[in-house]
């Protein structure tokens, strides 16, 4: 199995087009044509993790956080980033990051957090769904060829709406065209008369990041020399992708019990939080990593509590007596991502060695 086959598997789950603009997800070092000798999953691709990969003969490190986040202008071994990259390159270790694209999918980082808390599955939804992610394809196909084209578009990913697949809408009508000299028409002849043919107009919803693949499939399956189609960008939000998650506990519990519950489930030594509101906790909003940008969204959704990390001093004031904010730590909020990625790959490629790092890469320690 090549590294490319592994990363394509990951990208079928968490497509790179779903990463935020500031991010650097994807292959960071190495050659995806290499044969993969083994995989180590981690949160951070540190020097120690690269050494671990060398010792365990794994040439692919899959990290949640990109080791290169800003432009590097020198490789002098003076920073931990430079040293890590130099060691990886010297030892032919590929580093792949699956970051905000994994944050932004249903079933990703936030789902792993919600699983730890036991939020009811039917109550879970994206806290802040993405917009400008959807488009609609219209195309016109001869009646006899419609099933072939429809199947090709479904296989390319068109027609996915929430938990449903192969969604489309069709109406029948009559298409006309006149082949000019030099044309190679499906029916009729070049320079001939105007033709009429029974056609189906088909509509498909798709994610904008899939557009190139979907058009390639359309052109390959469609019988016409020149394919008639339209693509319209939609303002609809995509309820299956976006930031954070909100859901409900099976039963409401008091705040102090909830704090102890979170402390136990995330193996914490401490929790930073806003003043207790002395009311039960039932509706929980959360966001792995730095999620303070979602505080107002959590309040608007009437969450009782919002769990995230990296909340700055002045951001805590945003709670304003309307919500309980918990800052559990960045590494702590994302620690189960290692198991999430490892389990996904073991399910998809069960005959291949997928390891979880034994290195704790959390740079923050607490004196208690």
Tens of pLDDT, residues 151-210: 999 999 999 988 899 999 999 999 999 999 999 999 999 999 999 999 999 999 999 999
| Residue 132 scores a pLDDT above 90 | no
Sign of the torsion formed by the C-alpha atoms of 305, 311, 317 and 318: negative
Tens of pLDDT, residues 283-309: 999 999 999 999 999 999 999 999 999
Model confidence, pTM: 0.89
In DSSP notation, 270-332 reads: --EEPPP-SS-EEEEEEEEEE-GGGHHHHHHTT-SEEEEE---HHHHGGGTTSSEEEE--HHH
Average pLDDT, the chain: 96
Q: Which two tokens stand for residue 116?
A: 């730890």
Tens of pLDDT, residues 33-43: 999 999 999 99
Structure confidence at residue 317 as a pLDDT band (50, 70, 90): very high
Structure confidence at residue 77 as a pLDDT band (50, 70, 90): confident
- Sequence-separated (6 or more) residues with CB below 8 Å from residue 63: 41, 42, 43, 44, 45, 49, 95, 96, 97, 98
Lookup result for tokens 């779903």: 18
Strand 305-309, strand 281-290: pairing: parallel
| Residue 351 scores a pLDDT above 90 | no
Q: What is the pLDDT averaged over residues 111-134? A: 95
pLDDT value for 367: 85
Tens of pLDDT, residues 111-120: 999 999 999 9
The closest alpha carbon to 68, from 89, 40, 90, belongs to 89
Structure confidence at residue 70 as a pLDDT band (50, 70, 90): confident
pLDDT value for 146: 95
| Residue 29 scores a pLDDT above 90 | yes
Higher pLDDT, 353 or 114: 114
C-alpha neighbours within 13 Å on the C-beta side of residue 53: 31
Secondary structure class of 196 (helix, strand, coil): strand
- Sequence-separated (6 or more) residues with CB below 8 Å from residue 320: 299
């Amino acid at each position: 199995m090549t590294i490319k086959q592994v990363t394509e598997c990951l990208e079928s789950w968490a497509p790179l087009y779903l990463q935020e603009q500031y991010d650097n997800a994807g292959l960071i070092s190495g050659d995806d044509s290499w044969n993969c000798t083994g995989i180590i999953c981690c949160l951070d691709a540190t020097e120690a993790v690269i050494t671990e990969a060398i010792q365990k003969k794994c040439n692919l490190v899959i990290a949640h956080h990109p080791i290169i986040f800003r432009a590097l202008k020198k490789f002098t071994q003076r920073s931990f980033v430079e040293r890590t990259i130099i060691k990886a390159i010297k030892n032919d270790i590929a580093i792949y990051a699956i970051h905000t694209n994994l944050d932004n999918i249903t079933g990703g980082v936030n789902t792993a957090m919600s699983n730890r808390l036991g939020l009811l599955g039917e109550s879970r939804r994206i806290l802040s769904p993405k917009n400008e992610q959807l488009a609609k394809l219209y195309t016109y196909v001869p009646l006899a060829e419609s099933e072939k084209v429809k199947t090709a578009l479904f296989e390319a990913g068109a027609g996915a709406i929430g938990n449903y697949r192969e969604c489309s809408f069709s109406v029948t009508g009559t298409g006309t065209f006149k082949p000019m000299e030099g044309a190679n028409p499906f029916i009729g002849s070049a320079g001939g008369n105007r033709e009429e043919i029974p056609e189906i107009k088909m509509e498909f919803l798709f994610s904008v990041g899939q557009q190139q693949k979907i058009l390639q499939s359309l052109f390959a399956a469609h019988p016409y020399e020149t394919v008639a189609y339209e693509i319209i960008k939609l303002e609809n939000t995509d309820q299956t992708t976006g930031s954070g998650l909100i859901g409900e506990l099976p039963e409401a519990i008091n705040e102090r019990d909830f704090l102890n519950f979170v402390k136990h489930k995330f193996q914490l030594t401490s929790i930073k939080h806003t003043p207790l509101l002395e009311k039960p906790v039932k509706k929980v909003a959360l966001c792995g990593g730095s999620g303070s940008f979602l505080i107002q969204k959590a309040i608007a959704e009437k969450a009782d509590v919002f769990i995230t990390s990296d909340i700055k001093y002045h951001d805590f004031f945003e709670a304003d007596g309307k919500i309980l904010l918990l800052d559990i730590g960045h590494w702590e909020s994302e620690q189960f991502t290692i198991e999430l990625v490892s389990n996904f790959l073991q399910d998809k490629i069960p005959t291949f060695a997928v390891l979880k790092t034994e290195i704790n890469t959390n740079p923050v320690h607490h004196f208690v």
